[in-house]
Amino acid sequence: MPDLPATLELTDEVAIVRMDDGKANALGPEMLDALDAAFDRAEREAKAVVLTGRAGRFCAGFDLKHMMAGPESARALVTRGADVLLRMYAHPQPLIVACTGHALAGGALVVLCGDVRLGTAGEFKIGLNEVAIGLPLPILAIELARDRLDPRKLTEATLLGRQFDPDSARDAGYLDQVVPADQLVPRAMDEARRLAALSSAAFAASKRALRRDTIRHIRDTLDENIREFGG
Domain parsing of the chain, residue ranges: 6-185+192-196
What are the distances in angstroms from CA 220 to CA 44, 94, 212, 225? 29, 26, 12, 10
Query: What pLDDT score does 200 carry?
Result: 97
Residue 86's contacts (CB-CB under 8 Å, 6 or more residues apart) are 140, 215, 218, 219
Q: Give, in degrees to the nearest 5, the angle at Cα 51 between 49 and 56.
A: 160
Query: What pLDDT score does 1 carry?
Result: 46
pTM: 0.96
| CATH architecture assigned to 6-185+192-196 | Alpha-Beta Complex (3.90)
Residue 64, Cβ density class (10 Å: 0-12 exposed, 13-18 middle, ≥19 buried): middle
- Residues 24-75 pLDDT 10s: 999 999 999 999 999 999 999 999 999 999 999 999 999 988 888 888 888 8
Residues of the chain above pLDDT 70, percent: 98
Q: Say if residue 170's pLDDT is above 70.
A: yes
